């Protein structure tokens, strides 16, 4: 495995399943706050050992699911403390993911599931991944992430999922592209994390609504995450931060944009892009 070390993180960039790369993985797991590796980049035994090493040191070991490992192997890894990041186009198996979540719960391991497909189960890439399946995942403690980049995500649907998340201490994370739609305040107040990109939003003109979304999220366990590619007035950003918004900017800033780091379960793998 070729490792890239950035901001205290290790991420595998290419396949390398030799013993030498296995030892590099163990070294990263023992020293870095967070290690990320795809499951096809190392043999299972090395992955398992690295997960155990990271857990003993109070560090995160994040496994990106390519579909190579069977569900039983993932249960072992979760039981060793590995966080699993998967998606509907890789592992559309609700029962298996529920078991993986159960195996890792006592060790603080999470399962994050990204649903890319349409919400209509009959049209989904894998049968059964509609409203009931996503609610079942959330009800078992699996975090569910959705984006409207390719498929519509009606706010009424998301609000129903947020209720399932709240009752099971799971996280519902929604990435919104385009103009702000009605009901995002209610979604944040229900406990969901709402990510908004500025490519379709005038931050200054919509500052009032975004303050409302941030304030609603602050009253619950969710919140507003604003991804900024463009410049925005500093006074507006100060107000948003005061209301509890998390601000992520691609532009350099002389002022701190966040008072505290974005929680790990509030985003999928990386904060530098909007899925």
C-alpha–C-alpha distance, residues 270 and 264, integer Å: 9
**What's the whole-number average pLDDT of the chain?**
89
Tell me which DSSP letter residue 200 carries.
Answer: G
pLDDT at 7: 39
The model's pLDDT over 164-215, given as tens digits with 9 standing for 90+, comes to: 998 888 999 999 999 999 999 999 999 999 999 999 899 999 999 999 999 9
The pLDDT confidence band at residue 254, using thresholds 50, 70 and 90, is: low
Radius of gyration of the chain (CA): 19
Tokens of 165: 């998340």
Pairing verdict, β 246-249 and 34-38: unpaired
Tell me which DSSP letter residue 178 carries.
Answer: S
**Backbone region of residue 183 per phi and psi (left: phi > 0; alpha: psi in -120 to 50; beta: other values):** left
pLDDT at 247: 95
φ/ψ of 203, rounded to 5, equals -60, -40
The pTM of the full predicted model, rounded to 2 decimals, is 0.90
In sequence order, the β-bridge partners of residue 13 are none
The share of the chain scoring above pLDDT 70, in percent, equals 89
Which whole number is the average pLDDT over 126-147? 87
How many C-alpha atoms does 3 have within 13 Å on its Cβ side?
Answer: 23
Q: Comparing C-alpha atoms, which of 135, 137, 130, 132 is closest to residue 110?
A: 137
Q: 64: exposed, middle or buried (C-beta count within 10 Å: 0-12, 13-18, 19+)?
A: buried
pLDDT at 162 over 70: yes
C-alpha–C-alpha distance, residues 162 and 151, integer Å: 18
φ/ψ of 199, rounded to 5, equals -65, -25
pLDDT at 131: 86
Which whole number is the average pLDDT over 221-248? 93
The share of the chain scoring above pLDDT 90, in percent, equals 76
The model's pLDDT over 83-136, given as tens digits with 9 standing for 90+, comes to: 999 999 999 999 999 999 999 999 999 999 999 988 765 454 444 478 899 999
pLDDT at 8 over 50: no
Q: 209: exposed, middle or buried (C-beta count within 10 Å: 0-12, 13-18, 19+)?
A: middle
């Amino acid at each position: 495995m070729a490792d890239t070390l950035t901001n205290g993180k290790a991420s595998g960039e290419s396949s390398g399943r030799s013993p030498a790369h296995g030892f590099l993985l163990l070294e990263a797991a023992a020293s870095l706050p967070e290690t990320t590796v795809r499951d096809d980049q190392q043999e299972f035994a090395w992955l398992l050992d690295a997960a155990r090493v990271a857990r003993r040191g109070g560090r995160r070991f994040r496994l990106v699911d390519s579909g190579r490992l069977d569900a039983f192997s993932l249960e072992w890894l979760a039981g060793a403390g590995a966080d699993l990041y998967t998606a509907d186009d890789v592992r559309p198996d609700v029962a298996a993911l529920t078991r993986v979540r159960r195996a890792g719960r006592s060790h603080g391991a999470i399962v994050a599931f990204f649903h890319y497909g349409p919400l209509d189960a009959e049209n989904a890439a894998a049968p059964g991944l509609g409203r009931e399946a996503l609610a079942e995942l959330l009800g078992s403690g699996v975090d569910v992430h959705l984006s409207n980049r390719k498929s519509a995500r009606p706010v009424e649907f998301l609000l129903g999922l947020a209720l399932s998340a709240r009752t099971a201490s799971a996280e519902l994370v929604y990435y919104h592209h385009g103009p702000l739609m009605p009901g995002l305040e209610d979604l944040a107040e229900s406990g969901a994390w709402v990510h908004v990109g500025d490519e379709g939003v005038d931050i200054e003109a919509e500052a009032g609504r975004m303050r409302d979304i941030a304030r609603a999220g602050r009253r619950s366990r969710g919140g507003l995450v604003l991804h900024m590619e463009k410049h925005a007035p500093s006074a507006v950003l100060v107000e948003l931060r005061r209301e509890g918004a998390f601000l992520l900017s691609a532009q350099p800033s002389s002022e701190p944009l966040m008072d505290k780091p974005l929680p790990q379960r509030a985003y999928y793998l990386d904060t530098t892009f909007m899925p």
